Structure formats: C-alpha cells, structure tokens
Amino acid sequence: MRIREAVHRVIDSPITQVGRWKSNAARDLPLIDVSQAAPTYPPAQELRDHIAAVAQSPVTATYTDQQGNLPLREGLARALTADYDTPVAASQVAVTAGCNQAFCLAMMALTEPGDEVIVPVPSYFNHDMWLRSQDVAPVDLKPDAGMLPDPAAAEAAVTPATRAIVLVTPNNPTGAVYPPALIDSFFELARDRGLALVIDETYREFRERSDPPHHLFTRPDWSDTLIHLYSFSKAYCMAGYRIGCMAASPALLRETLKIADCVALCPSHIGQLAAQFCLDHLDDWKRKYRRTVRDRVAYAARRMRDAKTGFDVVSSGGYFVYLRHPFTDHSSVDVGRSLAEDHGILCLAGSMFGPCQDRYLRLAFANVDLPAIDELVERLKRLAAAG
C-alpha cells in the first residue's frame, strides 16, 4: 500500500532511537537514564486511592463532554485565573488527551499544507514531527546566547504563508524561561500580523519564580491571538493518564473539537477525574514535588559547572540541563551513543531538537536523585580526564 510521503519523511521519535542505545548500554555500570522527560516518580498516594475508588463506578467507562467534564474545565479556569491574576472562563478551556494532542488539534485547525509555522530552535521534536507530517513547514528561529528567541528575527521570518508562532517556556530542551517582556513582544508581533501565538507551558510550575509567567491573559483581546497549552503529566506525575488542556477562544475550540471527534472523541474519563482531584486536593503535594525537581535541576547544573568536565552548561530549568559537549569533530548523536554504550549515561542528542544543535546534549532530571547526579558528574570527569 502507498504511504503518504509527508508522513514517510518524518523521523522516528528520538525516544525510539535512544531506546536502541539503551539496549546496548554499558553492562558494567548502572545505567543513569536522563533521556526522557516523563516522570516515573509515583503520583500522590491520595490520587491513587481516589482513582481506585472512583474506578468502581460504571460511569467512568462512558464518554464525557467533548470539551471535557465541566467541573474539570471550571477547575482549570480557576487555576488559570489564580496563576495569571486575571479571569479566565471555563468556556475558554478545553481538555485534551495530553498536551501533544492539544498542539496537534490547534495546528490542524490553523494550518493547511504548504503553510509555515515559526518555531524557535532548539525545538520540541514532537512539534516538528507533527508539522512536517501535515506538510506544514517549520521555520526555524535561531536562539541568542541565552537560548532565547528574537522577536525581530521572527518578524523578518514572517511570510504570506505564516500562520503561527510557537513558544515553549520553560523550554524543552533547554530549560530556558522566557521573560514576560519577551513573550509580550511575540504576542504583539503575532497580533499585528494576524498570526496565532501558541505557548506550551507544560513546565510552568518548575520556574524559580511564583509570579505569573506572562500577562497576556490580562489583555481583553488575548483570545484573538493566544493559544495556551498545558499538561498534567509533569506537575502531577500522571503522564499515563493523558490529560492536557488548551485555553483559547470558544470559536477556535469549536473547530478543534471537530477534529477531536474523529481522533479520541474525548479524553479519558478516569484521567479527567484524576486531574480534577489534583486541582482540588493536591496543591501542597505539587509544591513539594516542584521544589524537589527544581532543587535537583539546580544541583545538577551547579555540579556540572563546578566540576569543569568540558561539558558546559548552556542553560537549565524545567526538567532540563542543556550541555555543550567538547567533541568538535563528533556529532551529538555519536557523542550520545558513546555516552550510553561506553559510560552508562543515556541522554538525548542536540540534533534531535533541530538544526545547528550538534554541539549539544539534553539531560532530563525527572527520574534521578542527587547521588545519581553525583555519579553522572564523576563519569563525565573521568571521560574528560581520559581525553
């Protein structure tokens, strides 16, 4: 049978590629897996107990409202209102089967084959994969020295085919947090040029600051331009429940629901009940877990800077430390494979996140403790000493 060419050209997921490295990883060393930003840290015991109880109800096996259970959407609206210091309505929120689905639905509603979407690099590989599978061209926007995108460069990249600008903050893979003023500049650019500004804020809880990440929701016309994406997977360690959300204009949400009806119809009923429980009962648990991850990432970045391994910390935040490796004559894939097979360190190659990233590696600290970080640094030091 004939496979659609645009889909055939899309790369396999980097996680699949790294899985092959894992199968060949050094056998004489315990594996330190800093490859995937999917927490294996267990969800709160209260959440697990709650789900065990509600799963006994037959209603959890039924469909929900396509836009999501109303109590969950109302809870999400309250959470956005609290986090951004301005009212957001439940009618402006849709629940999705994970944040990736939210992105895919938004892009399908906004773009047609041949269109363009501006994506700062390094970029989240699933975003790139989805755009290319739809015959939509990602237009790469190179970062500055601090791994921040430049609004002036984005404006220069806008063409008649441009439909949207996508930001991820805190960024995956770099961990860089985009300042509110920078986000404002991108919003104004998108608004003035009639584009959508899509902001994936999956890692917003893991910022150092507790003030609003930006002030876009305070603008009376925000929903004409902004599409906000979020995931429950990271902050509540419930990746397998597959619950994300999108905040946007009701008119856009209506169009995305047409697509969702043909894909998953609605998110998991049990997953939505889990997310609702999180919003209602787990603020303290989330704050404690957030501190654990932030402290872990800060510790890893500090240890790597102090150890002078030759692997330079370029940026850090969210779950991530983004490193520049010292091997100028080797690709990031070669370095990543060698780290796994010879040194028992499993991470992602920078080139998996876009062009001009071959000198970099992404390390995710969702699933390692401080002793494992110390051991990782010692292995990098031994590698540097061996030349």
Per-residue model confidence (pLDDT) at position 387: 61
Note whether 78 and 225 are same-domain residues: yes
Q: What's the domain range around 29?
A: 5-42+285-385
Q: How many domains does the chain have?
A: 2
> Which pLDDT band, with edges at 50, 70 and 90, does 38 fall under?
confident
Q: Do the Cβ atoms of 285 and 332 come closer than 8 Å?
A: no
Asked if 115 and 28 sit in the same domain, the reply is no
One domain for residues 191 and 73: yes
In a domain, 56, yes or no: no
Q: Are residues 178 and 240 both part of a single domain?
A: yes
pLDDT value of residue 210: 85
pLDDT tens-place string over residues 176-210: 999 999 999 999 999 999 999 999 999 999 998 88
Same domain assignment for residues 155 and 111 = yes
pLDDT score for 53 = 96
Distance between CA atoms of 371 and 376, rounded to whole angstroms? 9
Is residue 332 in some structural domain?
yes
- The Cα 185–Cα 182 span in angstroms is 5
Q: Beta-carbon neighbour count of residue 211 at 10 Å?
A: 11
Instruction: Render 34-94 in DSSP notation, one character per residue.
Output: -------SPPPHHHHHHHHHHTTSGGGGS---TT--HHHHHHHHHHHHHHHTS---GGGEE
Residue 41's pLDDT band, with cuts at 50, 70 and 90, is confident
Judge if 184 and 315 occupy the same domain.
no
Do residues 125 and 269 both lie within one domain? yes
The residue-averaged pLDDT of 224-237 equals: 97
Asked, for residue 338, whether it belongs to a domain, the answer is yes
Within this chain, do residues 269 and 374 fall inside the same structural domain, yes or no? Answer: no
Residue-wise DSSP of 181-232: HHHHHHHHHHHHTT-EEEEE-TTGGGSS--S-S--GGGSTTGGGTEEEEEES
Boundary (domain end) residue, out of 226, 253, 281: 281
Burial zone of 104 (CB within 10 Å; 0-12 exposed, 13-18 middle, 19+ buried): buried
The type of residue at 258 is K
Using CA atoms, how far apart are residues 166 and 251, in angstroms rounded to an integer? 20
CA–CA dist 328, 322 (Å, integer): 16
Helices (H), the chain: 5-9, 14-23, 45-54, 70-84, 99-110, 125-133, 151-157, 180-192, 250-263, 269-281, 283-307, 332-343, 370-385
> In the predicted model, is pLDDT for residue 386 greater than 90?
no
CB-facing half-sphere around the CA of 83: CA atoms within 13 A: 19
Residue 197 pairs in a beta bridge with 165, 226
In degrees, rounded to 5, the angle at the alpha carbon of residue 124 between the alpha carbons of residues 119 and 128 is 60
Q: Report the mean per-residue pLDDT for the chain.
A: 95
Domain presence at residue 57: no
Q: Residue 90's domain is classified under what CATH number? A: 3.40.640.10
Cβ(162)–Cβ(193) below 8 Å: yes
Region 349-362: what's the mean pLDDT?
Answer: 96
Tell me what the mean pLDDT of segment 155-171 comes to: 98
Asked whether the predicted pLDDT for residue 385 surpasses 80, the reply is: no
Same domain, 105 and 120: yes
| CATH at 365 | 3.90.1150.10
CA-CA distance, 385 to 387, in Å (whole number)?
5
Same domain, yes or no: 95 and 225:
yes
Does some domain include residue 85? yes
- For residue 26, pLDDT beyond 90: no
Does some domain include residue 335? yes
Which of 281, 304, 323 terminates a domain? The answer is 281
In a domain, 49, yes or no: no
Q: pLDDT category, 247, cuts 50, 70, 90?
A: very high
The answer to whether residues 225 and 354 belong to one domain is no
Judge whether 52 lies within some domain. no
CA nearest 118: which of 166, 83, 63?
166
pLDDT at 324: 97
For the residues 100-117, what does the mean pLDDT come to? 98
User: Does the pLDDT at position 168 exceed 80?
Assistant: yes
182 and 250 within one domain = yes
Distances (CA, A) of 60 to 66, 68, 95, 266, 313: 15, 13, 16, 12, 46
Alpha-carbon distance of 90 to 195, in angstroms, equals 24
* Chosen domain end from 244, 266, 281: 281
Helix axes 332-343, 14-23, angle to 10 degrees: 30
SS3 322: strand
User: Is residue 349 very low, low, confident or very high in pLDDT (cuts 50, 70, 90)?
Assistant: very high
